[in-house]
């Protein structure tokens, strides 16, 4: 997950229960701490649609800087505390979770801050 | 996800991209709002290890009351805002994400609030 894992990262990797495809779900949260203790790392995911590593923001510029990586009790999920540049969602919203179920309907609870075409200019 | 889905829940279900096993990752967060607007629901998951529906807290009593359900941009993940009774983790911790990667090592950043055997008494 880190750009250049330290030599001591082996124990951390061994604690993660990767699935048969070598993947693990990762949850990214905006952290609100002021300090940037681990701020030299940029978050990298594996894109199943692209079939390769995906350093978030490489096209859009909306990068995530790693604040802290946490592992859950049985090692099959990660929580990433990040500092999000701009918006996190390809729709131009701060969060991908902008639809809420209320009274049996899906309601949009956040508007796009920038048009998606500004994130992914063609040509 | 709701105990008794309203008839109008069909549209919400159709927006969720269940995988080939009929499952979808769900992220549960403790919400800190005072109001209990949707407080009549209890959170239910599917337990892959048990192979059946799992109403969280049915054994331990550490139930999750649904505050709001949100769906992400492409419908393949849910965010549950919940009110957690007691601890969420089977280890007796408030959160399952109690191990953080710091300086190349996994550090425990939260202690158990109650012994696990108090959650799951035998016999």
Does residue A27 sit in helix, strand or coil?
Answer: strand
User: What's the pLDDT tens digit per position in A63-121?
Assistant: 888 888 788 888 777 788 888 889 999 999 999 999 888 877 788 999 999 998 888 87
Show Cβ contacts of residue A42 under 8 Å, excluding neighbours closer than 6 positions: A3, A55, A56, A57, A63, A64, A65, A66
From the list A7, A25, A109, the residue facing B25 with the nearest CB is A25
User: What's the pLDDT tens digit per position in A36-70?
Assistant: 334 447 787 777 778 777 788 888 889 888 888 78
Residue A20 contacts B, CB cutoff 8 Å:
no
User: Cβ B70–A15 below 8 Å, yes or no?
Assistant: no
What does the pLDDT read at residue A26?
61
| The pair of three-digit structure tokens given for residue A67, joined into one six-digit string | 């604040």
Q: Tell me what ipTM this predicted complex has.
A: 0.72
Residue of B73, B24, B72 whose CA lies nearest to B48: B24
């Amino acid at each position: 997950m880190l750009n250049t894992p330290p030599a001591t990262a082996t124990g951390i990797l061994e604690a993660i229960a990767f699935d048969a495809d070598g993947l693990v779900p990762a949850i990214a949260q905006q952290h609100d701490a002021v300090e940037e203790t681990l701020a030299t790392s940029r978050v990298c995911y594996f894109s199943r649609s692209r079939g390769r590593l995906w350093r978030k923001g490489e096209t859009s510029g909306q990068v995530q800087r790693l604040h802290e990586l946490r592992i859950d009790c049985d090692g099959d999920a990660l929580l990433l505390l990040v500092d999000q540049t701009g918006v996190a969602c390809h729709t131009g919203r701060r969060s991908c979770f902008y639809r809420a179920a209320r009274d049996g309907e899906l309601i949009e609870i956040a508007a796009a801050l920038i048009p998606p075409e500004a994130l992914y200019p063609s040509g």
